[in-house]
């Protein structure tokens, strides 16, 4: 019989921000908090947040250059970011600046020119 | 040390909302932070899924043109996805890479159409290619 836990909030006992979860192989464990994405976004070409987690706003800095501000800040700028563009087949995205409060992404084409585009980004790291 | 043995987690106030204390003092959402789908597939020939979560298949449209088919649908098409791919060349080549891009209008609750293209910064124009490995992750709201 499956065991179902109904709960609103999960908090570690020994360390509030650290809960271990047994992995798929039934032997090693992984960390629940560290495995969760701390922010993600589907952004419009003007930086509007179409859908997102933990982001308060997006700012259009100019052609192809966007800054996104967290709702709950990260502990520092040492996060992992991955991003993709949507509206063309030769666009790349680089997240070139990350701090505890914001990250900045640039969309560019193969000629190296900045380009306005919808984009998607995920942030993994430590919450403040 | 406190250990909880459980098979499933369900929110009490809202079945789909569980708060998790983060690494510091802030909190985050368990459901929103989880990847809803991911896949590693071989894009050469008939696409072959190596490992995946909540992926029902890969449609091969033509060279460098695929659709990721999501098993349990997303609630809307405004989810976030990211993709990477292995290099096209079999040996290291500092001037050639494979890019992954979503196609305009190719996003649906049931899946995401993508293209994989070879970027030659030293010379050639982009070429659609079937890479050895394509990786995709999806974050957003399940239906």
Q: What is residue A88's predicted lDDT score, i.e. its pLDDT? A: 64
Cβ of A77: how many Cβ atoms within 10 Å? 13
B102 in a structural domain: yes
> Whole-angstrom Cα distance, residue B79 to residue B104?
14
A65 in a structural domain: yes
Residue of A51, A78, A81 to mutate, testing the B interface (most B Cβ within 10 Å of its Cβ): A51
DSSP string of B41-79, one letter each residue: EE-SSS-EEEEEESEEEEEEEETTEEEEEESSPBSSS--
Q: Is there a contact between B11 and A10 if contact means CB atoms under 8 Å apart?
A: no
A58 in a structural domain: yes
User: Looking at the partner chain, which of B6, B78, B117 has a beta carbon nearest the beta carbon of A5?
Assistant: B6
Tokens of B94: 């500092």
A22 in a structural domain: no
Q: What is residue A89's predicted lDDT score, i.e. its pLDDT? A: 63
Kindly indicate the confidence band of residue A25, based on its pLDDT and cuts at 50, 70 and 90: confident
B120 in a structural domain: yes
B30 in a structural domain: no
Q: What is residue B61's predicted lDDT score, i.e. its pLDDT? A: 97
CATH number at residue A67: 2.60.40
- Asked whether residue A10 carries a pLDDT value surpassing 90, the answer given is yes
A11 in a structural domain: no
Helices first, then strands: H and E counts in chain A? 1, 12
- Asked whether residue A84 carries a pLDDT value surpassing 70, the answer given is yes
The whole-model pTM stands at 0.85
- Which contacts of A46-54 are long-range, i.e. CB under 8 A and separated by 24 or more positions? A46/A116, A50/A118, A50/B78, A51/B76, A51/B78, A51/B79, A51/B80, A51/B140, A51/B141, A52/B80, A53/B28, A53/B29, A53/B32, A53/B33, A53/B139, A54/B28, A54/B32
Interface residue B105 vs chain A (CB under 8 A) = no
Q: Is there a contact between A17 and B23 if contact means CB atoms under 8 Å apart?
A: yes
Interface residue B66 vs chain A (CB under 8 A) = no
A110 in a structural domain: yes
A26 in a structural domain: no
> Whole-angstrom Cα distance, residue B81 to residue B123?
30
A10 in a structural domain: no
Q: Is there a contact between A84 and B76 if contact means CB atoms under 8 Å apart?
A: no
User: Looking at the partner chain, which of B10, B101, B107 has a beta carbon nearest the beta carbon of A91?
Assistant: B101
Between A55 and B10, residue with greater pLDDT:
A55
Region A39-66 average pLDDT? 97
Q: What is residue A120's predicted lDDT score, i.e. its pLDDT? A: 92
Q: What is the pLDDT of residues B45-70, one digit of tens each?
A: 999 999 998 999 999 999 999 999 99
Domain containing A100: what range? 37-124
Domain containing B44: what range? 35-139
Q: What is residue B138's predicted lDDT score, i.e. its pLDDT? A: 94
Q: What is residue A24's predicted lDDT score, i.e. its pLDDT? A: 82
A24 in a structural domain: no
- Asked whether residue A112 carries a pLDDT value surpassing 90, the answer given is no
Low-confidence ranges of chain B (pLDDT < 50): none
Distances from the Cα of A36 to the Cα of A53, A73, A74, B37, angstroms: 11, 15, 13, 13
DSSP string of A53-112, one letter each residue: ESEEEEEEEETTEEEEEESSPBSSS--EEEEEE-S-SS-EEEEEEE-SSEEEEEEE-TTS
Q: What percent of chain B has pLDDT over 70?
A: 92
Domain count, chain A: 1
Using a CB-CB distance cutoff of 8 angstroms, which residues of chain A are in contact with residue B4? Answer: 5
If you search the block for the tokens 């047994």, which residue do you land on? A22
Q: What is residue A11's predicted lDDT score, i.e. its pLDDT? A: 94
Cβ(A54)–Cβ(B30) below 8 Å? no
**CB within 8 Å of chain A, chain B residues 71-100:** 76, 78-84, 99-100
Using a CB-CB distance cutoff of 8 angstroms, which residues of chain B are in contact with residue A10? Answer: 9, 18-21, 30
Domain count, chain B: 1
Q: What is residue A2's predicted lDDT score, i.e. its pLDDT? A: 76
B14 in a structural domain: no
Q: What is residue A111's predicted lDDT score, i.e. its pLDDT? A: 76
Q: What is residue A67's predicted lDDT score, i.e. its pLDDT? A: 98
Which uninterrupted H or E stretch holds B93? Answer: none
Q: What is residue B88's predicted lDDT score, i.e. its pLDDT? A: 77
B40 in a structural domain: yes
Average pLDDT for chain A: 91
What ipTM was assigned to the predicted interfaces of this complex? 0.78
């Amino acid at each position: 019989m499956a065991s179902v836990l109904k709960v609103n909030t999960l908090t570690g006992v020994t360390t509030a921000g650290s809960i271990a979860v047994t992995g798929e192989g039934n032997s090693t464990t992984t960390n629940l908090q560290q495995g969760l994405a701390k922010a993600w976004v589907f952004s419009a070409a003007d930086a509007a947040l179409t859908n997102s987690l933990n982001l308060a706003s997006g700012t259009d800095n100019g052609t192809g250059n966007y800054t996104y501000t967290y709702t709950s800040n990260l502990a520092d700028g040492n996060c992992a970011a991955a991003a993709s563009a949507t509206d063309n087949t030769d666009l790349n995205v680089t997240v070139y600046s990350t701090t505890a409060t914001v990250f900045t992404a640039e969309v560019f084409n193969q000629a190296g020119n900045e380009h306005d585009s919808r984009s998607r980004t995920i942030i993994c790291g430590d919450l403040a | 040390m406190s250990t909880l043995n459980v098979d499933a987690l369900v929110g009490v106030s809202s079945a789909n909302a569980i708060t998790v204390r983060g690494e510091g003092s802030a909190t985050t959402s368990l459901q929103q932070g989880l990847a809803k789908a991911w896949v590693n597939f071989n894009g050469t020939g008939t696409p072959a899924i190596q490992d995946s979560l909540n992926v029902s298949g890969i449609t091969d449209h033509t060279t460098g043109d695929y659709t990721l088919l999501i098993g349990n649908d997303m609630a809307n098409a405004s989810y976030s996805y990211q993709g990477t791919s292995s290099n096209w060349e079999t040996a290291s080549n500092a001037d050639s890479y494979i890019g992954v891009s979503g196609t305009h209008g190719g996003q649906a609750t049931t899946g995401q159409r993508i293209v994989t293209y070879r970027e030659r910064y030293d010379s050639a124009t982009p070429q659609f290619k079937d890479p050895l490995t394509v990786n995709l992750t999806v974050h957003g709201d399940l239906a």
